[in-house]
Amino acid sequence: MAYHRQQGVDTSIVRIFNTYGSRMRAHDGRAIPTFLRQALQNQPLTVFGDGSQTRSFCFVDDLVRGLILLAESGEHLPVNIGNPDEYTLLQLANAVIEASGAESSVTFEPLPTDDPQVRQPNIDRAKELLGWEPTVPLSEGLRKTIDQSGRDRLIGKTG
């Protein structure tokens, strides 16, 4: 923001929340890549805690559409781009099992002490300023991720 004011350069500030889709790294430590890697190998999916903590997941196509709208908008204040739909991690694990056709089960491990209970973006500014909101539901995004990425990439066998 200061750079925009001082230099007159057209800038945009975006806050990106929990994006997933093709080209994810299988071992990046996030829930969706981890669950997909485990499910596609028919391993148990590891959920920390009781799985009741919630997260919001934005499919990459929705993110890119939001970024383009923001870049074209002339808006210089921060805008959140993410999906406000919340899922428990247990719901996510089951959605990944269903989307992948896996026969995996779910196992539970102790919850790390610093793990937040809720992560959910407020996208009101994106809706108001850009007319943007996500359109790809989680189940569809998971299927697209599997189809576009391929099994080997999602289990970490290729780049």
159 within a domain of the structure (yes/no) = no
pLDDT tens for 95-111 read: 999 999 999 999 999 98
114 within a domain of the structure (yes/no) = yes
The per-residue pLDDT for 95 is 99
71 within a domain of the structure (yes/no) = yes
* Burial of 43: CB neighbours in 10 Å, binned 0-12, 13-18, 19+: middle
Instruction: Let me know the angle formed at the C-alpha of 29 by 26 and 32, rounded to the nearest 5 degrees.
Output: 65
69 within a domain of the structure (yes/no) = yes
Residue 115: give its domain's CATH number.
Answer: 3.40.50.720
The number of folded domains in the chain is 1
- Find tokens 């890697």 and name the residue: 37
12 within a domain of the structure (yes/no) = yes
143 within a domain of the structure (yes/no) = yes
What whole-number distance in Å separates Cα of residue 57 and Cα of residue 154? Answer: 17
pLDDT tens for 8-65 read: 777 899 999 999 999 898 899 999 999 999 999 999 999 999 999 999 999 999 999 9
Residue-number span of the structural domain to which 79 is assigned? 2-154
41 within a domain of the structure (yes/no) = yes
- Among 90, 87, 81, 92, CA closest to 122: 81
